[in-house]
Amino acid sequence: MIQALYESDCPDLKLLARGKVRDLYEVDSSTLLFVATDRISAYDVIMTTPVAGKGKILTQISVFWFDYLKDVMPNHLITANIDEMPANVQQYRDQLSGRSLLVKKVDVLPIEAIVRGYITGSGWKEYKSKGTVCDIRLPEGLRESQKLPHALFTPSTKAEYGDHDENIHPDKCAELIGKDRADEMARVATALYSKAAEYAAGKGILIADTKFEFGVDGSGNIMLIDEALTPDSSRFWPAALYKVG
């Protein structure tokens, strides 16, 4: 039987944070370790009972997408192979194998780069009320879960744990991180979504929407960070069962 990991314990590494699902450690001055535990959260509440193996599945999903999308945007992944990690990480292989990412330390941009291909969730709620999503005017007469005319960049702020992200207009994104950086983020996020959505559609899966996060390295280059297209950051629908309304 697979043993569930609710919380990692790596005393020789500096624990920086425990999120809803992942534990974050500093390995050295330039690298971090992301550990995907088996914790489950819903609506910002962490459940007391983990699901064994969940963290390993999330990790492998991200590893796949980081590799598949690397031609669109470089990412922060150094390795997911425990044998290629430093000795001070390898000593915890019984906990970490298959569920850890050694990544580059970067400056995180304070924006959740949400891309929507279909109108649903909070986007649908706003559209019903105002005819907009993130104050972006959309065509009249859209129905719930309808495919949008094109992938839509609808950013939100990155809230502290326990608070809720706030949807913002792309112009507000430019105010927060600068117009050039915001324009680059919008372009890259929609390109990442479009390539992933095309691949998933070929497998019978629709990606309704997803969230990307980006950081900036010491040379000023933007890169994809955090996770990529997992069920924790994306909404997946089986194409065979999809219907509008």
Split the chain (245 residues) into runs of 10 and give each run's mean pLDDT: 90 96 96 96 84 96 98 98 98 97 97 97 95 95 96 87 76 94 97 98 98 96 96 96 94
Report the pLDDT value the prediction gives residue 166, as an integer from 0 to 100: 86
Return the percent helix, strand and coil in the chain, to nearest 5: 30, 30, 40
Running DSSP on this structure, what letter comes out for residue 239? G
| Amino acid making up residue 16 | L
The answer to whether 59 and 100 have CB atoms below 8 angstroms apart is yes
Q: DSSP labels for 14-50? A: EEEEE-SSEEEEEEETTEEEEEE-S--EETTEE-SS-
Q: What are the backbone dihedrals phi and psi of residue 131, each rounded to the nearest 5 degrees, phi first?
A: 80, 15
Report the pLDDT value the prediction gives residue 171, as an integer from 0 to 100: 93
pTM: 0.94
Report the pLDDT value the prediction gives residue 45, as an integer from 0 to 100: 82
Report the pLDDT value the prediction gives residue 58, as an integer from 0 to 100: 96
Q: What are the backbone dihedrals phi and psi of residue 60, each rounded to the nearest 5 degrees, phi first?
A: -70, -30
